[in-house]
Amino acid sequence: MTEPRPIIIRNANLVDPASGRQEHGHLIVVAGLIADLGPGIDVSVPPKGVRVIDAGGMTLAPGLIDLRAFVGEPGAEHRETLASAGRAAAAGGVTTVVCMPDTDPPVDDPAVVDFLIRRARDTAAVRMLPAAALTKGLHGAEMTEIGLLQAAGAAYFTDGAKALADPLVMRRALTYARDFDALIVQHVEEPRLAGGVMNEGELASRLGLPGIPREAETLMLERDLRLVRLTRGRYHAAMISCADSVDIMRAAKKAGLPVTCGVSINSLALNENDIGPYRTFLKLSPPLRHEDDRMAVVAGLAEGVIDVIVSDHDPQDVETKRQTFAESANGAIGLQTMLSVGLRLVHSGQIELVPLLRAMSTRPAEILGLPQGRLQVGAPADLILFDPEEPYVLDPASLHSICKNTPFDEARLQGVVHMTMVGGRVVHEA
């Protein structure tokens, strides 16, 4: 592949979540890396052959890094492909996506990891990193070859939408992964308590739907954190959704445990009342919680207890969503809308822009040990240029995902991505 053309982006609002920088200035990209940035750069006479992009005061920030997205390849290409997910990600300002391993076959063999890396390199507009299965066949009984899978390029280890329920297997996995400095990611939901379809409470009773108590999440989380204390393995709770979980994570971090956690963009922006008249596009795992829980996770994010925001992108087709609420599949798409939905919190004064972007770029990069997620000289030029104020009404037909199961159908949003760059190459322009 030829070296990308040098680019000057001038008159931008530079926002670097890694350093807290917010200033008007310019940025220069050479050979796929950030060569210089700041207000004092002379860009009045650009060298010949350099592309100049006038940002017009829009925000220039590191590209987003999504630690949790289901992409259908291999085996479920009717739901999503690496190519379609890449287009959706680029349009939403996401420059790196970690793909879940619950495919067909599952990502439990180094050959599958290698296939996905090569396939993504050939077809996807953004960086796609495969997560590997934590147990063989995702059956929760026998550990995968963590060392070999990591050497093949696996980003981390998880059983995807399944929780690893067996405490002995989890203890062994944490102990084994510790020797490789590998990251274990858990879907924190006790399966025997999670037999319902929405948050347990008054609303579920009025709708006549079986509920999922918060304890399904907190019991699994507390168990895992005790195993982390025992083994000292690196652990990440994929998505927490309630106030009790925020308190549990705060205490674990204060105790010095090597733990981090994430939250779904849906849990930050929506609550159980949004389900309304049995809207199946809002049937999710973890379920949308009470408004008090939503406010608690927003506060936990602002405080830094919650490290990352994920899209939890999970495309579902008509056959699995156009059912009764109880029988429909969990999941919603979110790659393309994660940024603009997150900006709702900024516009409503619930969180500042820099902490929001830090949870979507810098912290995910730090957790995975990636060089992206920062506006610094020498860092990869994975960048987004967006107008955080520009309004639009979401039309599902405009989404690049194959499936259109968005919970934000016809929602009024702000924040349009005008350019996405990956490794110095422009992969999306609006």
Active site residue 247: no
Structure tokens at 92: 């939403």
| Those residues with Cβ within 8 angstroms of residue 276's Cβ, 6 or more apart along the chain or in another chain | none
Cis (ω within 30 of 0) for the bond into 105?
Answer: yes
Q: Which of 102, 108, 312, 387 is catalytic?
A: 312
User: What SS3 class is residue 9?
Assistant: strand
Instruction: State the residue for tokens 């049995």.
Output: 278
Instruction: State the residue for tokens 């052959």.
Output: 49
Q: Which of 346, 348, 355, 285 is nearest to 314 (CA)?
A: 285
Give the whole-angstrom CA distance, residue 379 versus residue 9: 16
Give the whole-angstrom CA distance, residue 221 versus residue 203: 25
**DSSP labels for 324-375?**
-TTTSPP-B--TTTHHHHHHHHHHTTSS-HHHHHIIIIIHHHHHHT-S-SS-
User: What SS3 class is residue 224?
Assistant: helix
Return the active site residues. Answer: 312
